[in-house]
Each structure stands twice: as structure tokens, then as C-alpha cells.
Structure 1
């Protein structure tokens, strides 16, 4: 064995067993290592007082064995891994990964492999369905990728060199893999297709619940299921194992929160309990798709091991990203860490530069508070065990935003036949606001879009029939945008309104007061203690009432000066041009030429009608006078009032005496 700096004399010991203080059951230990001294003393041994000091261990206070007057020989479960590390680790052959992305001469195997269609189930969807039933079951497909063979003609692509005993000086042997690799880009698609094909082959031979479990509730090789009763769980485990066995797949590492279900499973198919100390009856902890799950209390836990990362931008990112919370239960707490990281980006701090003094107190406070998430506990099942027959399910989505962030949260509201109500947090999301300055209405609209996207996903993944959905916001501006049908908006707002209306109806949106909106926590952020005492996990009080409150219409009107309104320009286009005889008169240089032209025109009309014979003589005085009277009449009718034509003023009149006056003036 070796520590970080020195070698420790040690021997490997196998077949050790321990027995509980109050129990006759014996537990086999994994291979251990001897030491000349134990790096611990009696003060490290938990007692009843130790359990009393921790809220999640209080119920075990009476079960803790008393402290014995003896020498310390072995502390099981004590964290010695930081002090002792194996000098050499030899990986086993099971699930051994291959680096198919390693490049040689600018190429690698994954560059030439097709990933195929994405047949992997949504991780969040599998977790959400895992919370529906009272009885939970988890299992694993043994060496899943290795159970699916590669075609013989394709196996040469999987050739590799092997040096016996790791001696690189010796001549290597050439092998080729006949099965899909852990690390190959094509393996997940091929394995998922094979698993779903196997389920399809079982149609008609096994129950629909079993087929659906194989098709929908596996995330790669990890299966999670929940059913209402233990009888259904036992049947599901039995049929699923038989169906997979028909395809030469083995389901193992079964875990359930029900003792009778576990008793029905062969012992060799059960998961090995690693972290449970039978003497102290510590909770049995497992991981459900990476989320820490306490089998004993049937709840999700959030024990975070804080690593000693440097106080740099790189270290801050590593620490914030280490909080694995796919369902967003801790989203308000994580938001503070994201905001610190965003502020470092705004100030353009380098990846390995130290935190500025202005941000250091906030970061140290957040890091100190991070271990307190271990006190958080979220029930796995949406409903308590004593809840009655369900009459209806409802999903309630809340959204809110500010200049510092925006987010949403969704609650499942169940009403039983006796009108009892229960609400549970399904998922939450918190996001920092974009670095580019945006208006509050735009941010609140963005939060509403996040809620709609979560709704689309949950509606498909929860598989609940006749599910009603409600959307709540405290922004009357957003409600005005959604209920508007007449106005046109800027591109940013118009696109988001279109996204909202493509999945929801305006009648589904309602107003909620800011003090009752739990999404307020999603953008403000909370400490661990504040999160524990807030309404984030339970939802607003009005959701627990038998009847939802009658909503008053608080839809804001879209004002004319709203900056999001698109300005409309109206152009009046004249389709028909109205031209009078006066436009033709303007083409003549003087009045006499107009008179002569009109007189000739009138003569041609008479000749065409046969009233007068055709002649080439010039117009007579009578013809010009008649033409002049006609012109003056036309001018007066077209213009009206008093106007000037060719320097002479004419007045609108229709009397014969006036025409004489015009004639005198014209002559």
C-alpha cells in the first residue's frame, strides 16, 4: 500500500466477516489491508449521542450499540481512502472501457462509426416515472454492450494489440472484439435497439407493464420502475427477468424498498449492500441514475462531497458542476454558485486567476453551506402510502424572473375520491439571466417558455391519462402578450409567444401573486436552511385546498407605447389615375391654339357621325366661338370657383350671359 508520499507495509486479507452487536447475521467484507496501527480512536465510533446530533439519524438513536471497553481493531465504513490508496489497480474484465476516441495519424475509431438513431430514453423521464408508484424496483443488465455481437464482416474494425503481462518489449498479439465495446460511438444505439427489439418480441407473451418497463424505463443498462403494489412488483421482476433471459440478457443487482419483493428475488440476483452497517442500522443508500437514493426511508438524498478545488474560475466551475441534480430539487441553492461563476465571466477573469476579493465572501459562504444539503430529503413517491384512490391528477407550472435570473417549478397535484389533496414537487429549473441586458418582461416571457418546454416533456414522460395542466405567472404583461390576438410584436417576443401558443391555450394561464409564487425562489436563490423551510418542495398553500381559487381577470393591456410592439407604416397607393381635360390643355402654348384644336376636333366628330361633309378647309369663326364656349364651360366645371387660365381669371357659372362675358374677354 502507499499513501500520497510514503509506502506503508501492508498485507491483503480476504474472507473477513463482521456481526452486528444485536444480530447474529454475518456480513462478508471485501478484501482489506493490514496496518501496524489504526488511524482512528474511540472518539470516531458513533454513539447514540452522535445519532441524536444529526436530524436524519435521530430515529436510530436507540438502535446504536453502546461503546465497549476494548481496543479498536477495525472501523468499518470509516473514510480511510484519503490516507491509503492501492499502489496498483488492475481493472477487471467486466465492463472494461476502450478509448475509441484515441487518435493515431489524425483519426480514431469513433470518427468512422455511425451513432445511429438516439434510442436512449430521457434520463429525467425515467426518474419522473420512477416516482409514480409506492413500490420501487431497480436493476441492471449485466455487461449490456458485451451481450450484443458484431457482424463477422465488421469485426476487423475492432482489432487491437495486446502485450502479455504488460511487457511492451515483447511481440504483441493481435485480437479482435466480437462484441460491442464500452466506449464505441455505435454501441449505445445498437444495444438500445436490441433491447427494444427484444421487448417487441415479447408482445403477447408477457404483460404490458413488463413490455413497457423494458422499452421505457431503462436508461442504457439501468432499469428503474415503480408500481402500486408489491404483488405487481414481484410479477414485474419475474417476467422482466424471463423476457431478458430469452434474449441472453441477465438482469441482476435488484434493489427494492419492499422486503417481500426482495425476498422473492434469488440472493445471487440482488445487489450487494456496501454501505450499510448492520450493527448501527445505518440507512441503505443506492444510486438511481446517479441520484442518491435512501432505500430505508424511500427518499432522495443530496450528500455532496466538497473537493478541495482551487478558488479560481476553473475551480468554481468544477465545484458548481459537481452538484448532480437532474430534477432540479436544489435549483435555488445552486443558482448562487452559478451567479458567482457568471460574475467572474463578466469581469473576464482568467481560468486560473484567483477569485477577486469582492466575490470571495460569497463563494466561501456558498462552499460552507454546500455540505448542509445532506439534511435535505425529498420523498421518492409522489403520493403517501395512505392516500386514497385517485380521482384526478393536475400539473401546475409556475414561472418568474428578475434581472439576476429566471426559473420555473412544476407540482403534481392529486385529488382522491374523498377530495383529499396532496402536492409534490416534480422538477425545477433555475437559470442566470443572460449577460446581455434584457427587460423584465422579456425575462419573464423566457421563464414562461421554459415552463412550457417542461410541460411538453412531462406530459409525454409521466404517462398519466386525462392530465390537466395549469400555468401560473405574476406578470400581467406576459398574460397580456399571451392573450393578445390583434397586435404584432418584435421578433424576440413574437417567437416566444408563438412557442407558448403552440403547446398551450390562453385559458390555461392565470395570475398568481408574487408572495404565493414558489418560482420566486428559482431566480432569487436560497441557502440550504432557507430552502428547507420554504414552500419550494410543497408548493403554495392554495394548491392544497380542495378547490382552486377563482381567478380574477388580471390580464394587462398591451399599451400603444409598449416597446415590444412593432411599428406599422401605412401607405396609400392610388390604383387609378384620374386625369381631366385640363391636363391636355396644358400642352398648348396659348389660348388660340386650344380653341383651334377643339374646333377641329368637334368638326371631325360631326364628319364621323355624317352630320357634315368632310373638308380640309380651316375652321370658321362660328366653329371657333362654339369651341371656345365649350372649353370655358369645361374649365369652370373642372376647377370650380375663381381660377386663372393662361393669365385670365374665370368664375364658375352656368348662365348664358356669363358666357358672353367670357367670350368678350377671350377675344
Structure 2
């Protein structure tokens, strides 16, 4: 992609190279006229060129411009339409727009066979058996499903060290958090490695090696999980769409999971997992209610990004939490609580003012699975994780999950009230209004009393700095 972007002639002087094929030849001076891969500015320049293309030519290809502006990630563009006719228009405009800017499509695929007609160039179309891999996931156009990409161990690491473990964890990429209940185990193991203070190339303890090898050997099963791409938002009979976010926390991690519910008039809804996000609990000791509150903030920030990304501005948002203490904090005014709680409550209430936070039983909270970790087999069979609690598919009247039982623990974070009382001074004249501070008033009164003392007792006159005894006499 970078090599398809031509530089301005004035800028090409900054990409000069000297080169010769043989030491016997004279060194030649070259100027690179296109964006060079490996430079710090290359990704920005590539994306900026696409944005400029949308700005310059987007009015002629509105559907293609929308696909480039909102559905592109570097050199990958993932877009779609509600029906085949609209998809045909998107495809045509997208190809014409990119060709106009000098960015011809190298390969493309579709889950609709008619969009891959025989008159197309076969070299530009993925075959039916191929899987399109992008952004850490694999998409099967034939099945129209997503699956995970797992980097299999190379087998070269004979010794398990912190360096090799970190290297393999870094290759686990799950951008939408679908595999979060499994991958959170890797993050917990990595935190335990840091706590053990073992060197980067030292052999790990037997207990850590067994935990890591058990986790690594189960990763291949993640590729068997299939996630439907289509969530039904553009179906003709869809009348109600809502977002539901669940959050939970444990002593080791906290998590948030967001679900999309679509329903037709008089029908039960279809619920699907959109995305999830996890974070490891800090090493500093934090109470579980505080971590639950951090999970609620994580959920709020996550929902804000999803609402903006999917342009669900008018879609109702519901939040669910299984902590009675945190729920009591969230429902109270921030001024009632101490600083840690007050700041997070204020962010929670202002970021999504229209969201409704409610209680959900822990057993029906799907985010609970992503706070402690489960095996790939359990994840594959977990309908709670993939579709949310069973009652969510029904109508709103049946979304009652019971009432939280308050233990009164939330009162421990109540802000202390300090009352200050002052007595009024009678018959004091305006003497207190004539001085800027009480200390200055004492010094002046002390000097006045000194003058009176020296006048009465000329044999024992006082002088020098005002003494503490004189100030005490003045204050009395």
C-alpha cells in the first residue's frame, strides 16, 4: 500500500539513498519518490492519502467514500450492506473510488456469490475454500462466520522462561475480546511471573511451568469456535434495538461485556455478543467493591466507544452489575462519597447520562467468566457468554433480576461532614475589622499593653521583640 503513494517532489529530497551493485562501480545518488515502508510517518501518510481521496472524490462516490472513511484499517476495508442491490452499489463505488486514487484492490471476498461473478478477474477474488484473515480474526465468506487466529507454538523453546512466555502471549491478538474468558488466564499468569521476580531468562518454577503449558496446549481449541458475523440489525422486521453491558470483578481481574439485542414487533429478541474487554487488577491491594466500581467505569468507557463507532446515538443503553455496594454508590450523588468513589461515579454518570444501571445476579452475569478464566471447552459451550442471560431475549417487563441485598458496606465510603461554628463577638467595636490577621492583632495589642506597662513601671521597662508571654496577656 505504501508504495502506491507518490511523494511531492520537494519531499523526495528527504528520502535520498546512495547505492551501487558492485564495489567497483561509482556510487549513485537516488531519490525515493514513494512512501517507504519502515519509516515512522509511513502509516500516517498512507491513511492520510485515503482520507484526502475521500475529501476530493467522495462527492462522486458517496457509498464508497463512506466505506473508506468508516470501515478501513490501514490497507483492509471491511464493509457491507443490508441487501444485494445495495452491496453491488457499494462494491462498484468503492472500486471506482480506489482506482481514481491509484489504490486498486488486490483481493476481495463476499459472502454473496453474485458479488463474485465470473467476469471478474479470478486473481482478485478469494476462492470459496479460502478464509480471509484480518485484524487477528478469520472470516469465512461461505459460512459468514468469524473464528480466532491462534499462533501455534514454534516448538523451539526447550526452556520456559519469562521471555518466551511474554513472546507467546504477545502473539495472542483478540481485538474484540470474544476469547477474553480464556485469554485472561494468560494475563494472570504473566502478572504472577512479575510477582515471582524471576529473571527474563531464568527457568520458571515447576508450578508456573505446568500452568503455562496447560494453558498453551488448550489454545488450539479456540479455532473451533465460530461466531456469526450477522447480528440482524438491518432485518426488515427489526423494530427494537438496544445495547446491554455487563461488568464484574474479582481479586485478579475485572471485565465488561457488551451485547446487542434486536427484536421485531411482538417477537422475542435475538441477542449476540458484540465485544468484551478485560483488565488485570493492580498489584496494590484494592477491595473487591472498588474493583467492581472500576469495572463499571470500564464498561461505561467501552459503551461510549461502541455507541460512537456503530452510530447508535438513539439506541437505549442498559448496564448491569452484580455488586450491591457499587450499585448503591452509582445511584448516589458523587458529593456523598470519598474521592476514589466520587471521581468514578461522576464519570459514570456523565459519560452515559441516559444509561440505566441495574442489578443482575452473579450466576446470570456473563462478565463473571472473564474475571477468573475458563477453559476453551467451557467457553465453546457457554450460552451465557455468547448470548447473555436467557431473560434478555424476552421483553423488558421480564428483565427483573431481583433486588440487591445491601449490607451497609457502602456507608464506609461516605464523605465525612465537618461543621464549623463561630461565636459572635459583642461590644468589640471595629477592632477586628482593622487588621488582616489575628497574629497582627495580637502583636499590636501586645505593644499597646507594653506601653501601658512601661508608663506605670519605669524601673522595669520592656523592649525588643514581642514575647510569647506578652501575646498571651494580649489574648487574655
CA RMSD, Structure 1 to Structure 2 (Å): 2.5
Equivalent residues in 2 for 1:34-433 (5 A)?
143=1, 145-164=2-21, 167=22, 170-206=25-61, 208-263=62-117, 266-267=120-121, 270-271=124-125, 273=127, 283-304=129-150, 305-308=152-155, 309=157, 310-383=159-232, 388-433=236-281
CA apart distance, 1:561: 7.8
Q: Which residue number corresponds to residue 433 of structure 2?
A: none
Query: 2:135, 2:175 within 8 Å by CA — same for their partners in 1?
Result: no
Equivalent residue, structure 2, for 1:483: 331
Q: Distance in 1 between matches of 2:381 and 2:102?
A: 50
CA distance in 2, matches of 1:501, 1:561: 18
CA change 1:251–1:561 in 2 (3 A) is: closer
Aligned residues: 425
1:438 to 263, 286, 291: 286
The within-5 A match list for 1:626-665 is none
Deviation, 1:370, is: 1.2
Shift of 1:303: 4.3
**Following TM superposition, by how much is the alpha carbon of 1:556 offset from its aligned partner in structure 2, in angstroms?**
6.9
More moved, 225-234 vs 302-311: 302-311
Superposition map of 1:451-462 within 5 A: 451-462=299-310
1-side partners of 2:328 and 2:416: how far apart? 18
Residues 572 and 506 of structure 1: is their aligned pair in 2 closer, same or farther, counting only changes over 3 Å? Answer: farther
Runs of 4+ aligned residues of structure 1 deviating over 6 Å after TM superposition are: 555-558
SS at match of 1:284: coil
Do 1:195 and 1:214's aligned partners in 2 also have CA atoms closer than 8 Å?
yes
* 1:1-57 superposed Cα distances (whole Å, 9 cap, x missing partner): xxxxxxxxxxxxxxxxxxxxxxxxxxxxxxxxxxxxxxxxxxxxxxxxxxxxxxxxx
Alpha carbons 2:131, 2:139 under 8 Å: kept: yes
Give the equivalent residue in structure 2 for 1:622: none
TM-score (norm 2): 0.83
Deviates more, 1:355-364 or 1:318-327: 355-364
Change (3 A) 1:361 1:147: closer
Contact 1:479 1:556 in 2 (8 A): no
Determine the C-alpha separation between the residues in 1 that align with 2:409 and 2:228: 49
> What displacement does 1:384 show?
9.7
Q: CA contact under 8 A between 2:5 and 2:35: conserved in structure 1?
A: yes
Q: 1:454: Cα distance to partner?
A: 0.8
1:645 — aligned with what?
Answer: none
Distance 1:486 1:289 in 2: 40
CA distance in 1, matches of 2:362, 2:408: 23
| Residues in 2 aligned to 1:470 and 1:322: alpha-carbon distance in whole angstroms | 34
CA contact (8 A) 2:334 2:345 kept: no
Residue by residue over 1:292-316, the C-alpha shift from the partner in whole angstroms, topping out at 9 and shown as x without a partner, is 2222221112242223344111111
**How far does the alpha carbon of each residue in 1:170-209 deviate from its partner, in whole angstroms, 9 at most, with x for none?**
4432211112222222233333232222223334433x43
Task: For residues 316-372 of structure 1, give each alpha carbon's deviation from its aligned partner in whole angstroms, at most 9, with x where no partner exists.
Answer: 111222111100111010111111111111111111111212222222211121111
Instruction: State TM-score, norm by structure 1.
Output: 0.60
Q: Could you tell me how far apart the structure 2 residues matched to 1:178 and 1:444 are?
A: 54
Deviations 1:48-74 (A, max 9, x none): xxxxxxxxxxxxxxxxxxxxxxxxxxx
**Could you report, residue by residue, the CA deviation over 1:358-399 in whole angstroms, capped at 9, with x for unpaired residues?**
2222222111211111211111221399x6521121110000
Partners of 2:273 and 2:340 lie apart in 1 by: 31
Matching of residue 463 in structure 1 with residue 311 in structure 2 = yes
Larger Rg: 1
Between Structure 1 and Structure 2, which shows a larger proportion of helix residues? 2
**CA displacement, residues 436-478 of structure 1 (integer Å, 9 cap, x when unaligned):** 1100111000111110111010001112362111000001111
- Secondary structure of the equivalent of 1:562? helix
1:562 to 408, 411, 426: 411
Task: Tell me the distance in 2 between the aligned counterparts of 1:218 and 1:264.
Answer: 26
* Other structure's SS at 1:406 match: strand
| Alpha-carbon separation, structure 1, partners of 2:363 and 2:4 | 55
Whole-Å separation in 1 of the counterparts to 2:137 and 2:399 = 39
Contact 1:480/1:556 (CA < 8 Å) preserved in 2? Answer: no
Match of 2:296?
448
Matches of 1:184 and 1:486, distance apart in 2: 47
| 1:150 alignment partner, SS class | coil
The whole-number CA distance in structure 2 between the counterparts of 1:553 and 1:420 is: 21
Cα distance, 1:383–1:300 mapped onto 2, change above 3 Å: same
Unaligned runs of 5+ in 2: 430-476
1:533 corresponds to: 381
